[in-house]
Structure 1
Amino acid sequence: MIENPSISVVISTYNSVEWLEKTLWSYEHQIFREFEIVIADDGSGQETKDFIDNYRTISSKPIIHVWHEDNGFQKSEILNKALMACTSSYVVMTDGDCIAREDFLQIHYERRSPGYFLSGGYYKLPLDLSQSITKEDIATQKCFDLKWLKKHGLPSSYKNQKLTSGFVQAGVMERLTPTNASWNGHNSSGWLKDLKAVNGFDERMQYGGQDRELGERLFNHGIKSKQIRYSAICLHLDHARGYKNQESIDKNLAIRKATRNEKKDFTPYGIVKDS
């Protein structure tokens, strides 16, 4: 086992064993090996606990399961608890519905730099294709091959270039893309000391933009960002979002607006609470 991991991979989950298994399996095939996995579990039931306990016995990586009772969508709170459980100085954050390409962590490790966080993206798959991907498809990396995906029903799209761009082309596209290099919960990384300096996630925020708000506080704290959306590739598995509602989105937009307008770099509703 790894005693001093160079990266802590924080993976969020909630009652989605099928997707979590595929996600975890992709980390068994990473080129970069010196990492631990911290599962941020927002109140899943016994099935998820049993799965993780069993998976620990076959995984080559240390796995920390951070759980709290189900109290609705409280992802910000469980992510803060997961951050406190990390034993590495560098954190990669993703979701339990994102299959990481074999060089995913290698890219994050090589591109990390003091004073910066890294901003990646994802490639979203349709539901039927998400369900059909097997462990073997992940182990052989077939599921990242555009020809294989098209053969299994992937529609044509300009977004497909994410999967076909080589090292040079990816670098060019990352310099040219108009997409903001924001903190994205499915694929971003940064230094734990920076995440703690801004007090982690704002726990008032539920679904809709809590990751972006964290990034905005990092910017206000003087941390810059680098774009890696065409280099660090993960496949997003499709699923329903029953927790999505306009009330929480509107509330979060108001919090983000205050963060930007008042140039806040710290939330009193984060890891450390005001007494």
Structure 2
Amino acid sequence: MMPPAPRRASVVITTYNWPQALDLALQALARQRTLPHEVVVADDGSREDTRAMLERVAADYPVPLRHSWIEDRGFRVSLARNRAIAATSGDYVLLLDGDMVPHPMFVADHLAAAQYGSFVQGMRVLTDAEGRDRLLSRDVEALGFFDRGVTRRRHTLRIPPLAALSLRATRGQSSGAIKTCNQGWWREDLVTLNGFDERYEGWGREDKDLAVRAFHAGLVRRSLRFGGLATHLYHQERHEDGASPNDALLADAKASGRVRSPVGLDRHIAEFAQHPLPDLRAAA
């Protein structure tokens, strides 16, 4: 018997003090052909203008919209994501960054790609400053293969038959880029892994740590191309190969063979079981 497909996709979307980008991403999620079960904003300490934007958007949002906020004490995206994951109620979790604008078939494509024993790594359509500004100004709703402002054009192509063929399984440290800006996970697997390791503070490596522990648990990474598309709004980034204060933690995770994060998701699940995160639509 084939295992059941996921029924309810909870989107966990990170943000930090860029409400214009988050607004664009949320509006794209509201236009999904297959709506998510809910959207939970994992806020790493944004100012009040982000909260005000969320309350405005919630007034006519088509699915529950929740806001998980932590105090701004530096880059603590592991903690922010764990709290948001703990607040979800879907059986599948889509991790998305707040500077990523999903294609209308983003949720449907990820649900179609979901398979037990694996997590799905989606890709980014990269923009330059011109493409970012065209999207933020609402000059266009999306950027296609031939549009100006796109720097990674192959990832603009949604071709479902090729997407199905692209879902090859890989495991281990040679499995390619790991980016939590566009990933799909069974929620029960995130619980088994105890989510992100909250000892990772400051930029970098918390996403690779999660994948390393997933490989230790026997999960495989499946790459989704030509589907599950999302467009990244340009901003200056640290180089992927640059040093991170968390490099030693990642090296230890690789060497230890551990599966569970020592400081992780279990710290928050009981909290939200007793006090569910409110749907902002109720107060709108």
TM-score by length of 2: 0.82
Higher helix residue share: 1
Residue pairs, 1:1-275, within 5 angstroms: 6-133=8-135, 134-135=137-138, 137-138=140-141, 143-147=142-146, 149-150=147-148, 153-154=149-150, 159-164=152-157, 166-172=159-165, 175=168, 180=175, 183-205=178-200, 206-241=202-237, 249-272=243-266
Sort the Cα spacing of 1:41 and 1:129 in 2 relative to 1 into closer, same or farther, 3 A. Answer: same
How far apart, CA to CA, are the structure 2 residues paired with 1:176 and 1:93? 19
8 Å CA contact 2:205, 2:244 repeated in 1: no
**What is the alpha-carbon distance in structure 2 between the residues aligned to residue 219 and residue 117 of structure 1?**
10
Which ranges of structure 2 fall in alignment gaps of 5 or more residues?
A: 1-6, 268-284
Query: Equivalents in 2 of 1:154, 1:192: separation in Å?
Result: 33
Deviations 1:30-85 (A, max 9, x none): 11124210000000011001110111002112101000111011111111100110
- Corresponding letter in the other structure for 2:212: E
Could you give the per-residue CA deviations for residues 230-272 of structure 1, whole angstroms, max 9, x where no partner exists? Answer: 321110001245xx599x9433222222111221111212123
Tell me if the contact between 1:120 and 1:187 (Cα under 8 Å) persists in the aligned partners. yes
Q: What letter matches 1:219 in structure 2? A: F
Separation (CA, whole Å) in 1 of partners of 2:139 and 2:35: 20
Check conservation: 1:101, 1:144, Cα contact below 8 A: no
Query: Is the CA contact (8 Å cut-off) linking 1:7 and 1:88 kept in structure 2?
Result: yes
CA displacement at 1:128 relative to structure 2: 2.3
SS at match of 2:130: helix
Tell me the SS of whatever aligns to 1:102.
coil
AA partner of residue 257 (structure 1): A
Contact 2:131 2:143 (8 Å CA) reproduced: no
Output the CA distance in 2 between the equivalents of 1:217 and 1:202: 10
The amino acid that maps onto 1:146 is F
Residues 126 and 234 in structure 2, CA contact (< 8 A), matched pair in contact too: yes
Cα displacement string for residues 93-124 of structure 1 (whole angstroms, at most 9, x for unaligned residues): 01000000011110111111222111111011
Q: Which amino acid aligns with 2:247?
A: L
In 1, the alpha carbon distance for the partners of 2:11 and 2:265 equals 18
Deviation at 1:18, TM superposition (A): 0.9
- Please report the TM-score for the alignment, with normalisation by the length of structure 1: 0.84
| 2:191 alignment partner, SS class | helix
Q: Any unmatched runs of 5+ in structure 1?
A: none
- TM-fit CA distance, 1:15: 0.5
Q: Deviation per CA, 1:207-240, whole angstroms, max 9, x where unpaired?
A: 1121121011111112222111332111000124
CA distance in 2, matches of 1:173, 1:90: 20
CA distance in 2, matches of 1:124, 1:245: 15
> For the aligned residues, what is the CA RMSD?
2.5
* Contact 2:113 2:167 (8 Å CA) reproduced: no
Count of aligned pairs between the two proteins: 255
Q: Distance between the aligned counterparts of 2:118 and 2:150, measured in 1?
A: 35
